[in-house]
Structure 1
Amino acid sequence: MPEQGRGQPVFAGYCGRTPGELAYMDGPTNSGAQHLVDGKYGIADLVDLDKLRGIFEKFTSATGFTIGFLDHPGLNILAATGWRDICTKFHRGSPASSEICVKSNRHLLDSINEPGQVTIEACENGLVDCATPIIIKGKHIASLATGQLLLEPPDPERFRRQAKLYGFDEAAYLAALAEIPVVAPDTLRKVTLFLGEIAFLISEMGYTNLVIKEESRKLATEIAERKLAEQENARLNVELREKNKEMENFLYVTTHDLRGPLVNIQGFSRNLEKYFSALAGTAAPEEKALALDRIPSALSFIADSSRKMDALISALLKVSRLGRVEMKPETLDMNALVRSVLASLRWQLDEAGAQVEVSDLPACRADAGAVSQLFGNLVDNAAKYRSKDRPLKIRVSGEKTAYGRALYTVSDNGAGIPALDLPKIWEIFYRRPEPGAGGGEGIGLPMVRRIVEKNGGSIRVQSREGEGSAFTVELPCP
């Protein structure tokens, strides 16, 4: 090889891939010292180096051509097979000549910056090298090279001068030179293009692993965030339960303490009514109207207000007691439980002229007394809020879901609930303005939902005004 040819490309071209096949590489490489894909991944993160070394060794054994696999831009040798003594013992064994090797490699590997590009170039130490880039998402992160060969017989004088220049043992150096194969240019081009195909496969494998890593990283992040959210939810639930417990205790104490003064007010009001009735017989004519009319009227208002206050306190006590009651879950025969509930409501259902249909119900695991209370409330409400335009029909049905929950639906063809009122029915002390339905405490459905939740379930409602309602309760299966 004439000396003036050193460092100049002998051949430059592209492997036989179409632009569409190379499109995933995202075109020419970006400039910059750190060629990390997505700022995180080098080639060692994206390919299995041990498997590649095995493939390279088989390639060298079959063809006699060397392989060098280097990261970019660091030029760290990640895999090397079949390297010649002239390179390992001489050119890279002397600091001065090794610097020339690195400089030549840098020139060659920095010149290949497009997907599928292959280049054959004479190095400054007199041999010929070939390389093709590994490009992933526009980043030239590695290079696949072969070389340490000649395209024509060497000039011994040129290598004697190099031996003298670098202080090599001339005889040993020339003996190493004699082992360097002289390869036909066409053969080398074919081998280099084949390496371009291998580089394409490595790039494709690296890209696939990149996608897997990124998806795995996103999944891991989502899992970690979900776990943190679950932990936060658990903490908030514990805090909420504690606050609810405090509120229920406060409610119980407060309502209990209010009951005493209220009983006094009611008792003394009745006494006053008796006293004024007795005084009316001896009162002067002008005082009789006061004793028999105005004062009893005022006492009547006090009595009515007291009764309302008493009902309110009773309702609050029921709510507070429910919160304090510990649920004792057990496997429940829901067919027997619902029969018992309907038997306890027989008078109300007969008064309403209700026709009740019960299908076969799956078992559940919950507190027996609490579940009886919630179904009793739902059936009683169906009777209470019936339509005056048609006979009342109530249906209780159930099923077991594929995810291990028991669903029960209590439906009716009653008056239904106006759409605007649906969100309010779970509010404590809310009472539906239904003429003739009778006054309630306004705590039935809120207590039903509380019972369901305390037993690990949920409740929802569907209703159309004038058509009826359907309450669906979900509870754990045994």
Structure 2
Amino acid sequence: MKYTFSKIVDIPKIQALMEEFYLATGIPCGIIDTDANILVSVAWQDICTKFHRKNAQALSLCHESDMFIKDHLNSGQPYVCYECPLGLIEAAAPIMIDGEHLATIFQGQFFFRAPDIKRFYLQARLYGFDEKDYLAALEKVPFLTPEKLYAIMGFFRQLAELLAYMGFANLKLLESKEKVVQESEDRLKTIINNSPCVAIQSYDLEGKVLFWNQASEKMFGWTEKETVGRTLREIMRDENNEKEFQDILQACGKSENTYGPFVWNITNKNGIEKSFLSTAFPIHYDNEKTEFIRMNVDITEQKQMEQEFIRFDQLNLIGEMAASIGHEVRNPMTTVRGFLQLLLGKDDCRTYHEYFHLMIEELDRANAIITEFLSLAKSKAVKLEMKSLNAIIAAPLIDANSLLYGQNFRWELGEIPHLALDENEIRQLILNLTQNGIEAMSPGKSLTISTFKESAEVVLSVQDEGKGIRADLLDKLGRPFLSTKEHGTGLGLAVCYSIAARHHARITVESSPEGTTFFVRFKV
């Protein structure tokens, strides 16, 4: 083809479009032509541009990634996904126009799961990066699921092809202007309507819905038929949301600028609380008609991930503190315990034996608490071996028989693959969860332990029939010293969350007045 990609599309408009798209979604983008010219660059991650590509040694690894992606672009797959030697993931897809590869669209850098922070600590030291700034840049790297990445790359590729098609059609004058524009608008509307990642709506000046794409139906729960022609107050029965949106419409109308991005919290049709990153902007037509476009990206999981990072940082801080002082505290405790045992053997101290036993019990309790503290450190070494989770479950259940007195117990162990596990740690996690469930129930109630495979995860669930956990405590579960028990240390669940983190697993909770279920989800 005699035309380059930049000749048949309007690059400044694509740049502006992708900048607006980034403001609404937080999704970065890059487009490079076949001569390695950067045509579009939006929000590439600081960890790459300010660190990896500024260091000669690290840059050589970046070039390895570039060559790998280039060599595999035409492998027949819709896109290439690659984890670079520095631990970041990138994806790229060829932009094919009329059967020819004219440019490449990049999505990156990102993670599929929480990164190994220790690895990036080591990289900072290896390449001489400022650790604080480097880890701050790491925290900005977004998380994507493989499904979301597939949707984003498909959306980007279709959009690029659409723009190229429009420009090429205009240059060649193959069809009349009206037909080309109409077809392009229909196709663009189809792409927007089928965009799985961004909920897009349009509203009139009164705030009534004019357009409601399929992603809006999925995220909010209401269908297009239920929303078009109605206001948000009529749809969601939420006057506060309606007032807030009317204020946004007025602000957009007055400034003529994009409003946002801002966080929008709602309860969807299914009663699920959701958080969205939203952007709103006006579109003015020649007939003096004005519409307002609102673009929303679901950040509920991202906010939950942020809370998990905070929780893990708290756990690690306490664990590291315990590791540093545990030795100094345990030595005098051991000495005191030894002298108390000596005194127990003296006849002239017989009248104080009751007190000596009590003091020894309290020392043992303090020592057990220190041991739990040490379990919180994420740097704690784990011995991972391919094990059967079902086989590990059997051992602690025998030890826990005394805890199950007066209550029913059942297990539903499904067919699951072996996992990389530290048997002692997983046994401790199971014991902690089962003991919590048992203590939450009255005699005659049942505790159920289940294992099953769900998508790409192996799930361990512990379900009790207690009174449930208060809603205001659910988001705080796993924090050290949070306990609803009269004599609890508040460390049992904290230890569980730390063990899960060291196994790259996550814990989710469902609770109601009929009971509580803890799910430990392991990646396969």
TM-score bracket relative to the smaller structure: 0.3 to 0.5
Give the helix-richer structure, 1 or 2: 1
Q: TM-score, normalised by structure 1?
A: 0.43
Give the strand-richer structure, 1 or 2: 2
Q: TM-score, normalised by structure 2?
A: 0.40
The higher relative CO (CA closer than 8 Å, separation ≥ 6) is in: 1
Q: Pick the structure with greater CA Rg.
A: 1
